[in-house]
Amino acid sequence: MGSVKDLQMLEEPTQKQFGRGRFVFSDRYSVFDWGEMPDQIEHKGAAIALLGAFFFEKLEEMGFSTHYLGLVEDNQVKKLSDIKSPVDSMEVEMLQVIKPELTGDQYNYSTYQREEGGFLIPLEVIYRNSLPPGSSVFKRLETGEVKPEDLGLKGMPVPNQKMDPPLLDVSTKLEVTDRYITWDEARSISGLSHAEISNLKKLANTVNELITREFSQISLVNEDGKIEAGFDQQRHLMLVDVLGTLDECRFTFEGLPVSKEALRIYYRNTPWHRATEEAKAKDRQRWKEICPVAPEPLPPWLKKMVSQIYCACTNEITKKEWFKNTPPIKEVMSEIKGYLK
């Protein structure tokens, strides 16, 4: 299915009924849309599965529809409270994934104008509570790809600027290289009505508030994150994929980046990252093929600390010690602080 998780399809979805599948969360990771990187982060897959289940179950308790069915232990589907030890598999209802046709360098989304329900919406909705250094917003503003007013801003933002209310951004989901688009284009290509776009934004804000509240209890700040959604057969919105994890969100602890963002910071200072930026500027579709440099493996200390971050956050958010002998997140972040400076 992707560079960091695999999909086991148990029943194919149709227009009239859900399919059924299992996400298997791996210890792989990806940064800057490269796909699978040369290392694996120990326990990452199980930490993501458990944390994702926690937030899906919270949202269902709040009355929101999701595609989550449960975690898989001993080939049985169970709720988080019934799981005895860390697992890396989650069973979900599957929707149709209708990929837009690519002709030349243009995507044709016309099929979405005819679809009634039972499909994945081809958008990612990104919420931004602040604009930390390295946010893609700054690069887009610098290149003129977007103007402050397009994002609802009154002027040029500065690093670490807080967004109140949160800034809601949107990108494509099913293109070779996803791209940020305007909300008008998002509505046009996905076939959503103005009311459905409004409901999608409200859903993103609700998820944001929940994640922000839960992580604030362990002294982490929810800087930004994303959701994906689909329509059930009655064209009701439902949350899909996974959310609230350290792969889908960007968190900080006393200004320090938490989870995968530490890996992004490390790789930004490598020849490989510079080569990817140059390749993307030349060809947005084939940039990986023409990139002449491959990423180097991580130093062992960084792999270990990032693993501890994933494990500590899952332990503390779920209030259960899934991963034994893992230091508290505050201790891990204090140790990593010296390395990231």
Q: Residue 283 corresponds to which amino acid?
A: D
Q: What is the predicted pLDDT for the residue at 340?
A: 65
Question: For residue 239, which of 50, 66, 37 has the smallest C-alpha distance?
Answer: 66
Distance separating alpha carbons of residues 27 and 316, to the nearest angstrom: 20
Query: β-strands 237-240, 123-131: how paired?
Result: unpaired
Torsion of CA 23, 26, 28, 33, to 10 degrees: 10
- Using the 8-state DSSP alphabet, how is residue 322 labeled? -
Q: What is the predicted pLDDT for the residue at 85?
A: 97
Whether pTM > 0.85 for this model: the answer is: yes
Q: What is the predicted pLDDT for the residue at 2?
A: 65
Question: For residue 332, which of 298, 308, 297 has the smallest C-alpha distance?
Answer: 308
Instruction: Quickly count helices (H) and strands (E) in the chain.
Output: 9, 15
Query: β-strands 89-94, 68-73: how paired?
Result: antiparallel
Q: What is the predicted pLDDT for the residue at 35?
A: 87
**Tally of structural domains, the chain:** 1
- Regions of the chain where pLDDT drops below 70: 1-2, 339-341
Q: What is the predicted pLDDT for the residue at 19?
A: 98
Tens of pLDDT along 90-123?
A: 999 999 999 999 988 899 999 999 999 999 999 9
Q: What is the predicted pLDDT for the residue at 138?
A: 92
- Tell me, what CATH number does 53's domain have? 3.30.470.20
The rounded radius of gyration (Å) of the Cα atoms in the chain is 20
Q: What is the predicted pLDDT for the residue at 255?
A: 85
Phi-psi region for residue 21, left (φ > 0), alpha (ψ -120 to 50) or beta? beta
Q: Would the CA dihedral through 292, 268, 277, 271 be positive or negative? A: negative
Distance separating alpha carbons of residues 18 and 13, to the nearest angstrom: 5
Domain with 12, as residue range(s), is 5-340
